[in-house]
Amino acid sequence: MKMNKAGLKADFPVFEAYPGLVYLDSAATVQKPYPVLEAVRKYYCEENANPLRGLYELSVKATEAYENAREAVRRFIGAKSSREIIFTRNATESLNLIAYCWGRANLREGDELLVSVSEHHSDLLPWQQLAREKKAVLKYLECDKQGKYTADALKAALTPRTRLFAIAQVSNVIGRENPVKQFAEICHANGTLIVCDGAQSVPHMPVDVQALGVDFLAFSGHKMYAPMGIGVLYGREELLEEMPPFLSGGEMIEYVTRESATFAELPHKFEAGTVNAGGAAGLAAAVGYLEGIGLDEAERRESELTALALEEMKRIPHIHIIGSDRPEEHKGIISFTVDDVHPHDVAAVFDADGIAIRAGHHCAQPLHQYLGVQSSARLSLAFYNDEDDIRRFTDTLKTVRRRMGFGG
* Residues involved in catalysis: 363
Contact 334, 378 (CB under 8 A): yes
Helix (H, G, I), strand (E, B) or coil at 359: strand
| C-alpha to C-alpha distance for 184 and 158, rounded to whole angstroms | 12
Phi, psi (5° rounding) for residue 367?
Answer: -65, -45
Q: What are phi and psi of 286, to 5 degrees?
A: -65, -40
Helices (H), 216-338: 237-242, 277-293, 295-313
User: In terms of Cα–Cα distance, which of 288, 156, 173, 161 is closest to 224?
Assistant: 288
220 beta partners: 231
139 Cβ contact partners less than 8 Å away, ≥ 6 residues apart: 112, 113, 114, 115, 157, 162
Task: Determine which helix (DSSP H) or strand (DSSP E) holds 140, and give its type and residue range.
Answer: strand 137-141
**Where would I find the H helices in 135-259?**
151-157, 180-189, 209-212, 237-242
Residue pair 314/321 in contact (Cβ under 8 Å)? The answer is yes
